[in-house]
Amino acid sequence: MTGLQIAFLAIAAVTLASAVLVVSSRKIMHAALWLVLALGGIAALFATLEASFFAAVQVMVYIGAIAILIIFSVMLTRRVMEDTGPQNTRYWPAALVVSLGVFGGILFLFLQWPGFSVESRPGLEQGDLLVRFGQALVSPDEFVVPFEVASILLVAAMIGAMIIARDPSRK
């Protein structure tokens, strides 16, 4: 077992444990903080895969923006400190079946992929990969259409949020 594998297992264990704690903590604020740790674990996984761009973007977008917004809205929620009532619904066996099915499906699809069992090649040219990624996003033969559609979707969502948040009595 190499050092990288040990690091992977440790990070994966931390990520999974904090993901479980997100749904099982009694205090909703703690759940939000465990979510931060889980997202940070994913960033660390990206870093061990030498995908430093994705690691940095993961921290910037998910921890720096989304988790902060979640914490913010949790802090503005009333009665965040109260922890009464059961945490499970009646339907948890059905949810278990669905999530196991999804996990199995994803695993099945990955097993079909020939690159699944190939060991990763360390020392890829990072700078070139980043340039390649940027060009692929705007090249007409590759991902320009999904990229632009995603951008328009985000702009529409942003405008929608502004319109909803607007005070209707003000002209």
Which spans of this chain sit near another protein (rule: CB under 8 A)?
A: 29-30, 33, 36, 52-53, 56-57, 59-60, 63-65, 67-69, 71-72, 75, 126-127, 130
Task: Supply the minimum distance, in Å, between the C-beta of residue 65 and another protein.
Answer: 7
- Provide, rounded to whole angstroms, the least separation between the CB of residue 58 and another protein: 8
What minimum distance in Å lies between the beta carbon of 98 and another protein? Answer: 32
Eight-class DSSP state of 58? I
Select 92 or 133, whichever has its Cβ closest to another protein: 133
Nearer to another protein, 104 or 134 (CB): 134
Closer to another protein at the Cβ: 91 or 167?
167
Q: Whole-number minimum distance, CB 164 to another protein, in Å?
A: 18
> φ and ψ at 95, to 5 degrees?
-65, -40
3-state secondary structure the chain: CCHHHHHHHHHHHHHHHHHHHHHHCCCHHHHHHHHHHHHHHHHHHHHHCCCHHHHHHHHHHHHHHHHHHHHHHHHCCCCCCCCCCCCCCCCHHHHHHHHHHHHHHHHHHHHHCHHHHCCCCCCCCHHHHHHHHHHHHHCCCCCHHHHHHHHHHHHHHHHHHHHHHCCCCCC
Smaller CB distance to another protein: residue 52 or 143? 52
In the bound state with another protein, the residue whose beta carbon lies nearer, of 36 and 45, is 36
Q: Give min distance, CB of 114 to another protein, in A.
A: 29
